Structure 1
Amino acid sequence: MKNDSSGASLAEALRVEIRALRPGARLPSSRALMERHRVSPVTVTRAIGQLAAEGLVVTRPGSGAFVAERPRPRADPPDFGWQAVALGDRTVDASTVRELVSPVPDGMIRLSGGYLHASLQPSRALATAMGRAARRPDAWEAPPPAGLAGLRTWFARATGPDLTPDDVTVTGGGQQSLATVLRALLPPGSPLLVESPTYPGVLALARMIGLQPVPVPVDTDGLRPDLLAEAFGVTGARAVYCQPTLHNPTGAVMPSQRRERVLAVARAAGAFVVEDDYARHFVAEPVPPPLVTADTEGRVVHIASLTKVTAPSVRIAGVIARGPVAERIRSAQLVTDFFPARPLQEAVLELVGAPGWTRHLAAVRTALTARRDALLTAVARELGAAPRRPSGGLHAWVPLPAGTDDRAVAEAAARAGVRVSAGRPYFPAEADGPYARLSWGAAASEAEIAEGVRRLAGVLP
């Protein structure tokens, strides 16, 4: 058996044994456990450590491991009623975000979420880089508040030729970047213009910190400048959130001319543009450069995350901003989060600087292109639908038959063994119709994608 699986098996066997023993009883020695279960000393140590962390055993150096005292059951359940009064009527709705990041049960096909399947992640390279980073003499010291100089340099060069390391703040991933940036830009109660539909994580976040999301419709080219100007005029908003490249969920790519118009509208309104460039590494066809590269006034705050193109726990991103807003963002992160862990920054810097990085990007693009085509083919065959063909990315925005309850469809699909995302949570206000967002990046294979779409078709009216 492999160390991980044998360690889990040994821990489970010992849990069963512990339930039959009295507190204070001594567990078999490490040597006895090794012989009985045919495992290594490292596996025994890991299993005992896990049980100690769970409070099931206590270890005494030189004596062994003993069954811990069991907590006495409470006579009455605790009364948390007072909290309802203290907390008031403010809620935090994380239901959509939770669905996007939660693992699926065994046997369920995942056509939702925004992370790569494990087979597409650079796991070996990450493990090597993390091991080296952890062994550096200063690995556990505090990094510079704005991030490691080399990592800031990499983000600047990867984004545009006129950007400098001083423009970059290294943050703890895209979602944390959004929280820091929005808090820095807008006080509670402010309107925030957002695309409609848009990334539901920004809607949940904005509402949690007291902002008011205001919808601005998109078309096949992304955010509509005419309605953006109208929304600025009506609300007096001072910021707009948008995803010009491979918009989530529609997959739209904003053409260069429209990007210029969006910047012009923001300039006329005296407002910031928060550019979420989450999918730049997933483009399969040429796309215009980021908005921030055409901005000469510090109007664009650019967020570039490395999480989606690597692995879910690589919570590293770069926020690019210029002028006083850069210092405010940097200060906001320092006050709320201090800084991302130095070993993770060191590991990411080694990863993106290695020759294998470009090979990883190329392999991911190739795999995602094949999976995109497999999903669109299956959607046409099984659903009779023809959604937009995105020029990369991770998602397709699939219209459902008129009158369909997309949330009920998503629930029925889960019961049929496939997880999809209902379209309704992507709209900040009323939806313009029923949709499902289908993702191809998290599925195990093209065959699995086809089977997932077949299962979805089976629950549609």
Structure 2
Amino acid sequence: MNDDSSIVRLAAILRDQADRLRPGDRLPSSRELMRVHGVSPVTVSRALGRLAAEGRVVIRPGSGTYVAPAVARADTSADLSWQTVALGDRVIDDTEVSVLLTPPPEGVIPLTGGYLNPVLCPAKALSGAACRALRRPGVWEMPPLTGLAELRRWFAHEVGGDVTPSDALVVSGGQSALTHTLRALSAPGTPVLVETPTYPGVLAAARTAGVRATAVPMDRDGVRPELLAEAFAVTGARVFYCQPTLHNPTGATLPLERRRQVLAIARAAGAFVVEDDYARYFTTAPVPPPLAALDTHGTVVHVNSLTKVLSPNMRVAGVVARGPAARRLRASQIVESFFVARPLQETALEFVGSPAWGRHLSTLTTELTARRDALAAALTSLAPAAEIHLIPAGGLHLWVRLPPDLDEDAVVETARRAGVLVSQGRIYYPAEPPGPRIRVTHSAAVHLAELGEGVRRLATALETVMETSPGGGGSRTLP
């Protein structure tokens, strides 16, 4: 229960409670609030965030939430209702993305999330790279607007083919790259084709840009070319967003022949393909070359981010594009954010140009492979009713089909109450989902033991929901 009404209700309760306490008094812990009020950690976090914004409470990470001094409280008597009319009916919804970015409460195991657990990030090596970067001459001077030449050369080399440094643009992370790209290539109100299911962040970006995400079905090998061609013909869309390598959430990797088909179909439609290559570093298995490396007509806009593979704070990504589209993307970057901070670019360049980069990739892929196998084995053993879509060649997630009679929301909420977080499948669909699904992440847990305990808790939650679901047939004993 983490919708807006739950947040409003909990905030009202806490506001009243804070008013009865003295400045400096401690409010109940997040865990206690979740237990007493039966709400999710996201609801608690947002309700407390509202009170903090009002100046009623002070949140001290690791310590708790305290009633703020009276002098620090904001004046909330102003009538701001006029803004409802002024803002109109356009809504920017961050719900799905915020859930994936919110850290779990203490004692709750995350089998969801979009980033590596900190134990998998090369923090020490990144700190060393940052120290060396800050000693570089001119590090505090304004960088070239399109990014450091050496960093653009590196991003171009990573794509391969005949991509040159002049085709690359450095932007502030993959999400920023997607937002820039959708706004640059699509007019408000127009359709943008996406795989279904797809990354929730691109659905949120599409809504913010005012474009309509339109679903194109997939199978175990990725997007179906014949349905992509039909979707272009029916909708008149001029943009197709995809993740051809280790797709999120399904894990599918588009074979070489299908990649060529996708390029041919998009070219025939006079359309762009936005290639989100977020998972290229999460496997040692041979995968086909990026779509951008196969492209000779300026069809592909390629996005490669360092954020997921290094650290959430490494907000550096490369966008490769050609022709008028590239010029528009560069103009969008300048208008919206000028440029990426030079010290961050220098740090990224220092790291990927050092031996630490190769060592990190080797260590990371080994660990991710072990985690993937452990997660798959645990799900198969403890939760056989949950069907794994496929075992991907790498990546961070497994896509799981639930029995058709189960309530997906009930599974996710029961799992949360059991102390484990998983992602609702419906947030990955631009239209109606085909049935109950969840995404289970193996990269957010601290270690394999925690991963195993998380699956055990999830299996218990599944058993509970199956016992109470219509047609559940009573108790089913876990193996």
Query: TM range, normalised to the smaller chain?
Result: 0.7 to 0.9
* Residue 242 (structure 1) shift: 0.4
The 3-state SS of whatever aligns with 1:309 is helix
Partner of 2:126: 126
- Which residue among 439, 448, 451 is the counterpart of 1:449? 451
The 3-state SS of whatever aligns with 2:253 is coil
The 3-state SS of whatever aligns with 1:282 is coil
1:233-252 pair list within 5 angstroms: 233-252=233-252
Answer yes or no: is 1:141 the counterpart of 2:141.
yes
Unaligned runs of 5+ in 1: 1-17, 21-55, 57-67
Partner of 2:89: 89
Instruction: Sort the Cα spacing of 1:239 and 1:71 in 2 relative to 1 into closer, same or farther, 3 A.
Output: same
1:108-187 pair list within 5 angstroms: 108-187=108-187
Cα deviation code 1:59-110 (max 9, x no counterpart): xxxxxxxxx9962757763322111111121111111100111111111111
Separation in structure 2 between the aligned mates of residue 404 and residue 134 of structure 1, nearest angstrom: 54
Partner of 1:300: 300
Partner of 1:29: none
Separation in structure 1 between the aligned mates of residue 74 and residue 127 of structure 2, nearest angstrom: 44
Letter in 1 for 2:428: Y
Separation in structure 1 between the aligned mates of residue 354 and residue 206 of structure 2, nearest angstrom: 37
Separation in structure 1 between the aligned mates of residue 75 and residue 448 of structure 2, nearest angstrom: 54
Separation in structure 2 between the aligned mates of residue 96 and residue 177 of structure 1, nearest angstrom: 19
Letter in 2 for 1:459: A
Separation in structure 2 between the aligned mates of residue 326 and residue 451 of structure 1, nearest angstrom: 47
Answer yes or no: is 1:349 the counterpart of 2:360.
no
Q: Conserved in 1, the CA contact under 8 Å of 2:155 and 2:168?
A: yes
Letter in 2 for 1:159: V
The 3-state SS of whatever aligns with 1:286 is coil
The 3-state SS of whatever aligns with 2:254 is coil
* Residue 412 (structure 1) shift: 1.7
Partner of 2:317: 317
Partner of 2:222: 222
1:47-126 pair list within 5 angstroms: 71=71, 77-126=77-126
The 3-state SS of whatever aligns with 2:287 is coil
Q: Conserved in 2, the CA contact under 8 Å of 1:407 and 1:424?
A: no
Partner of 2:286: 286
* Residue 447 (structure 1) shift: 1.2
Instruction: Sort the Cα spacing of 1:72 and 1:352 in 2 relative to 1 into closer, same or farther, 3 A.
Output: closer
Separation in structure 2 between the aligned mates of residue 186 and residue 445 of structure 1, nearest angstrom: 42
The 3-state SS of whatever aligns with 1:119 is helix
Partner of 1:329: 329
| Greater gyration radius | 1
Separation in structure 2 between the aligned mates of residue 315 and residue 441 of structure 1, nearest angstrom: 19
Cα deviation code 1:404-440 (max 9, x no counterpart): 2212211221111111001011000010111110011
Letter in 1 for 2:393: S
Instruction: Sort the Cα spacing of 1:321 and 1:69 in 2 relative to 1 into closer, same or farther, 3 A.
Output: same
Q: Conserved in 2, the CA contact under 8 Å of 1:196 and 1:426?
A: yes
Q: Conserved in 2, the CA contact under 8 Å of 1:285 and 1:392?
A: yes
* Residue 159 (structure 1) shift: 1.4
Letter in 1 for 2:169: T
Q: How many residue pairs were aligned?
A: 400
Partner of 1:30: none
Letter in 2 for 1:391: A
Q: Conserved in 1, the CA contact under 8 Å of 2:387 and 2:402?
A: no
Separation in structure 1 between the aligned mates of residue 117 and residue 404 of structure 2, nearest angstrom: 32
Partner of 2:391: 389
CA RMSD of aligned residues (A): 2.0
Partner of 1:436: 438
The 3-state SS of whatever aligns with 1:263 is helix
Cα deviation code 1:308-367 (max 9, x no counterpart): 110001000000011121111111101101111100000000000001211100100000
Partner of 1:211: 211
Separation in structure 2 between the aligned mates of residue 73 and residue 364 of structure 1, nearest angstrom: 46
Letter in 2 for 1:436: I
* Residue 134 (structure 1) shift: 2.6
Q: Conserved in 2, the CA contact under 8 Å of 1:198 and 1:248?
A: yes
Letter in 2 for 1:292: A
Separation in structure 1 between the aligned mates of residue 217 and residue 69 of structure 2, nearest angstrom: 60
Letter in 1 for 2:88: G
Letter in 2 for 1:222: G
Letter in 2 for 1:340: V
Instruction: Sort the Cα spacing of 1:74 and 1:219 in 2 relative to 1 into closer, same or farther, 3 A.
Output: closer
Letter in 2 for 1:418: V
TM-score between the two structures when normalised by the length of structure 2: 0.81
* Residue 139 (structure 1) shift: 1.8
Letter in 1 for 2:331: S
Separation in structure 1 between the aligned mates of residue 350 and residue 362 of structure 2, nearest angstrom: 18
Separation in structure 2 between the aligned mates of residue 91 and residue 159 of structure 1, nearest angstrom: 36
* Residue 386 (structure 1) shift: 4.1
Partner of 1:379: 379
Q: Conserved in 1, the CA contact under 8 Å of 2:418 and 2:461?
A: yes
Q: Conserved in 2, the CA contact under 8 Å of 1:284 and 1:369?
A: no
Q: Conserved in 2, the CA contact under 8 Å of 1:376 and 1:386?
A: no
Q: Conserved in 1, the CA contact under 8 Å of 2:24 and 2:69?
A: no
The 3-state SS of whatever aligns with 2:439 is strand
Partner of 2:8: none
